């Protein structure tokens, strides 16, 4: 089975969030199942070095305003097709935003071009390689299924689109449809049109053969007005083709027994070694050595979605219980300032680093006792999965993939050795405060806490189940 992944980011090359981790990991898991898989990505500055090691497979004299080349390269165990179009991608900083934090004004061209070339590879093939299935990820890849459909039924490979976060839909002025020669019959309410705009994600949802999202609970939530962000009707109409497949993580990149970013490696049989990581973490965050409660951490974008304003409200309880907080994140200015102020207000108890630091994020998983994820919605969430793997108990809102991957430490689950963390609902600061109290109560019972850590570390967080689920899905459409 030949499969083409279309995505805008991929770890370890370029990452703004969980999407990159998934794109970096699933292809390897699928390749291990015998899938011949390639990943098409734009050549941002972060990929220039890899692009130089590859071979040009196609040239475009003119691709939406400039010359471009498609380069085949191998790196980090992935077969890459790199779209080198400097006029679109050779820009410093964030891959989606300009210096002032606004979307690049030509994002429709930047990601439309990616879809255009992906659809070309899909329908015409390159160097005798032609995919049976094209798997598009998020709005940036959303036009691909439409463009494939437009190319005609005979040569069409099948397509899947995965929603990693429905909050980002890629909505553009309706005239953009002409840039991509989208005919009026596809620009309808049942097609690519969304309230007068061209919707890249909407196009993907309307024209792909299958739709997935990254957890079963988020799939159910997306069918409701509360979570569907205006696309719930489209998803309801395509219910029969829509399912949730939970994300896994890269077990090699995230392994406490080999992780180079840790001060000391450990396994579930040497949990005492976690202490050295705790010491290293305290030093990095200026935390005192006097915590009588757990060390909580947060590694997150600081946005409304992530519910961290609720944590600011609940902080007096956390420090009142003798716990500490180490937070690494960046995002909305008022949240960044809120946490910086909290670090001033509770010196030695609350430590805050504003920024993005992949290596430090590993030490945080290794050196904390619990990881807080109070999200208002969470398609899957990855940091709680890293937490499970590192014996850092997730304290999470009962929503989306958080609800699917963490088992609440109620009495029955503790007794049956299934409990792996704390879940709370509704997503309010009062419920979060209760969850912090419950976590501290459990932490005060070292035997119970240790057994929770072991349960967490045993929980399967790899791709063992989800990669075969994707393959099965591809097989149902490819053989049709």
Binding site for ligand ADP (CB under 6 A): 17-18, 21, 165, 299-301, 328-330, 356-358, 361, 380-383
Closest CA to 76 of 46, 110, 56, 116: 46
- DSSP state for residue 140 in the 8-state scheme: G
Closest distance between ligand ADP and the C-beta of residue 394, in Å? 11
Nearer to ligand ADP (CB atom), residue 165 or residue 399: 165
Nearer to ligand ADP (CB atom), residue 338 or residue 381: 381
- 8 contact partners, CB below 8 Å, separation of at least 6: 19, 41, 42, 95, 96, 111, 114, 137, 138, 140, 141
Nearer to ligand ADP (CB atom), residue 121 or residue 222: 222
Q: How far is CA 323 from CA 70, 320, 474, in A?
A: 52, 7, 47
Position of minimal CB gap to ligand ADP: 18
Closest distance between ligand ADP and the C-beta of residue 379, in Å? 7
Closest distance between ligand ADP and the C-beta of residue 106, in Å? 24
Nearer to ligand ADP (CB atom), residue 106 or residue 357: 357
Measured distance CA(77)–CA(439) in Å, rounded: 39
Closest distance between ligand ADP and the C-beta of residue 214, in Å? 8
Closest distance between ligand ADP and the C-beta of residue 332, in Å? 13
Asked if 2 and 440 touch (Cβ cutoff 8 Å), the reply is: no
Give me the torsion for CA of 221, 223, 227, 228, rounded to 10°. Answer: 150
Closest distance between ligand ADP and the C-beta of residue 268, in Å? 21
Provide the token pair at 402: 């958080």
Nearer to ligand ADP (CB atom), residue 181 or residue 260: 260
Name the pairing type of β-strands 171-172 and 197-199: antiparallel
- For the sheet with 193-194, list strands across it: 171-172, 197-199, 193-194
- DSSP state for residue 271 in the 8-state scheme: G
Nearer to ligand ADP (CB atom), residue 20 or residue 432: 20
């Amino acid at each position: 089975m030949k499969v083409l992944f279309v995505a805008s980011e991929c770890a370890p090359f370029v990452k703004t969030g969980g999407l990159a981790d998934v794109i970096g990991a699933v292809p390897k898991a699928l390749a291990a199942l015998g899938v011949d898989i390639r990943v098409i990505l734009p050549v941002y500055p972060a990929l220039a070095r890899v692009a130089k090691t590859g071979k040009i497979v196609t040239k475009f004299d003119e691709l939406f305003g400039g010359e471009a080349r498609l380069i085949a390269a191998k790196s980090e165990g992935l077969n890459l097709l790199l779209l080198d179009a400097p006029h679109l991608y050779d820009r410093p900083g964030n891959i989606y935003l300009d210096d002032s934090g606004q979307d690049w004004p030509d994002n429709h061209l930047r990601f439309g071009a990616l879809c255009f070339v992906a659809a070309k590879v899909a329908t015409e093939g390159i160097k005798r390689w032609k995919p049976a299935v094209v798997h598009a990820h998020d709005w940036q890849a959303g036009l691909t299924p439409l463009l494939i459909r437009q190319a005609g039924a005979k040569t069409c490979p099948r397509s899947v689109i995965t929603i990693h976060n429905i909050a980002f839909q890629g909505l553009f002025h309706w005239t953009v449809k002409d840039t991509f020669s989208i005919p009026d019959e596809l620009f309808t309410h049942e097609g690519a049109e969304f309230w007068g705009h061209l919707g890249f994600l909407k196009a993907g949802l309307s024209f792909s053969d299958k739709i997935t999202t990254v957890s079963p609970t988020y799939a159910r939530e997306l069918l409701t007005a509360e979570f569907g962000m205006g696309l719930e009707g489209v998803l309801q109409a395509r219910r029969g083709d829509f399912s949730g497949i939970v994300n896994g993580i890269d077990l090699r990149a995230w392994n406490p027994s080999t992780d180079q970013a840790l001060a000391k490696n450990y396994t579930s049989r040497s949990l005492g070694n976690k202490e050295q990581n705790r010491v290293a973490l305290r030093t990095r965050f200026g935390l005192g050595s006097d915590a009588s409660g757990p060390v909580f951490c947060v590694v997150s974008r600081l946005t409304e979605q992530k519910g961290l304003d609720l944590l600011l409200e609940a902080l007096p309880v956390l420090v009142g219980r003798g716990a500490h907080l180490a937070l690494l994140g960046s995002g909305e200015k008022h949240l960044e300032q809120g946490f910086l102020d909290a670090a001033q207000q509770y010196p030695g108890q609350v430590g805050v680093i504003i920024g993005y630091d992949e290596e430090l994020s590993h030490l945080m998983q290794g050196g904390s006792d619990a990881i807080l994820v109070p999200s208002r919605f969470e398609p899957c969430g990855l940091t709680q999965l890293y937490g499970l793997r590192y014996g850092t108990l997730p304290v999470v809102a009962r929503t989306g993939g958080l609800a699917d991957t963490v088992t609440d430490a109620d009495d029955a689950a503790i007794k049956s050795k299934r409990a792996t963390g704390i879940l709370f609902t509704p997503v309010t600061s009062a419920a979060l405060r209760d969850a912090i109290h419950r976590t501290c109560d459990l932490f005060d019972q070292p035997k119970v806490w240790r057994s929770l850590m072991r349960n967490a570390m045993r929980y399967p967080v790899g791709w063992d189940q989800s990669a075969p689920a994707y393959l099965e899905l591809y097989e149902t459409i490819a053989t049709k």
